[in-house]
Amino acid sequence: MQILRTAERLFATQGIDATSLRQISADAEQRNTAAAKYHFQNKPTLIRAIFDYRLDGIDTRRAQLLKLAEDEGRLDEPWHLVEVLVRPLAEQAAEPGSHYVRFLDRVCEHVGRDVTALPEIAGLDEAVAVGRLVTDRLPFLSQPQVRPRIRWAGQLILTALADLEQRNASADPRSDEPDTETFVVALIDAVTGLLTAAASAPRE
């Protein structure tokens, strides 16, 4: 557990490539500096283990929000589906000492900012399922139109919530920043607008 939390923090603050398994072992106060390598063999396995450690709680919260939207008859409204994607990560970002969302953003950076590559690395089955519900509600967009919007939406969510997590970790937060709930609602609005905006005809 200590190795996982240390790896998450170092990956989040330094980046994936800049962090070695040996450094993780040392920072986790393991007597054997090869402990991370012994337990996880390599970085991809360790990264997947961090996701496995965090996703149960996040996916449970996502399922609760999805059930609430269903009970309220709001499953046809993209805003509420985007909320299902955003709010569990925002709640994690607001946890004292959290590094998970910045870790997730660093993993995205590691794969070239391509959020569509994350499910292969991390699973993210619940997030993918909700994403499909969102795209099903965008019939006015063709596949070539909707695909980049999904990538941009994912990038916006991760970048914004990583900023929120960093802001919450700051010892001297800016006084002009919105409170967390205002921030989260504004992000849901922005992502929903990005996804649902009418498509303009290309210029000739």
pLDDT tens track for 9-24 = 999 999 999 999 999 9
The structural domain count of the chain equals 1
H helical segments located in the chain? 2-14, 21-27, 35-40, 43-71, 78-93, 100-110, 118-122, 125-136, 143-169, 180-196
- With respect to residue 142, please indicate whether it lies within any of the assigned structural domains: yes
The low-confidence residues of the chain, meaning pLDDT below 70, are: 123, 171-175
- pLDDT at position 36 is 85
- With respect to residue 30, please indicate whether it lies within any of the assigned structural domains: no
- With respect to residue 32, please indicate whether it lies within any of the assigned structural domains: no
Judge if pTM exceeds 0.95. Answer: no
- With respect to residue 165, please indicate whether it lies within any of the assigned structural domains: yes
- With respect to residue 31, please indicate whether it lies within any of the assigned structural domains: no
pLDDT tens digits, 35-59: 888 889 899 999 999 999 998 899 9
- pLDDT at position 171 is 63
- With respect to residue 2, please indicate whether it lies within any of the assigned structural domains: no
- pLDDT at position 175 is 66
Q: What is the DSSP letter of 95?
A: S
- With respect to residue 3, please indicate whether it lies within any of the assigned structural domains: no
Within 8 A by CB and 6+ apart from 202, the residues are none
96: alpha, beta or left? (left if phi > 0; alpha if psi -120 to 50) = beta
Residue ranges making up the domain that contains 177 = 44-196
- pLDDT at position 161 is 97
